[in-house]
Amino acid sequence: MERTFVIVKPDGVDRGLIGEVISRYERKGLRITECKMLRADRATLEKHYIEHREKPFYEELVSYMMRGSILIMVVEGNNAIKLVRNINGKTNPMEAEPGTIRGDYANSITENIVHASDSPESAEREISIWF
């Protein structure tokens, strides 16, 4: 079994899309093994987004993620990382395929409903930061 880390971002929570996000993963045969709603603090977000620290969008991203509640979860299953990222769709919602979470619901690169780990290493790192 592979594990990955997912965040339903503030726009997804505010728009009532938590159930939709979870049900898409579950319908694909994935399991939510840990789940928690919280408001992220700056220190945790800085650890999580460390690789983006020098990028021009960093401050906007951290501020946005502190704006409201988020749902964090560990998702498990065969090929969980790739499956979750395929279900989520491309980061840029203008490029995301219809039928993906971002293709169906997102309208901004920053406010794009969900985050998911991109590799086994980042999944374990992100899980250890948040859980």
Tell me the sheet residues that pair with 114. Answer: 8
State how far the Cα of 88 lies from the Cα of 19, in Å rounded to an integer. 14
Count Cα atoms within 13 angstroms, Cβ side, for 19. Answer: 2
Tell me the sheet residues that pair with 6. Answer: 73, 116
Catalytic residues: 115
Q: What contacts 88, CB < 8 A, 6 or more positions away? A: 100, 101, 102, 113, 114, 116
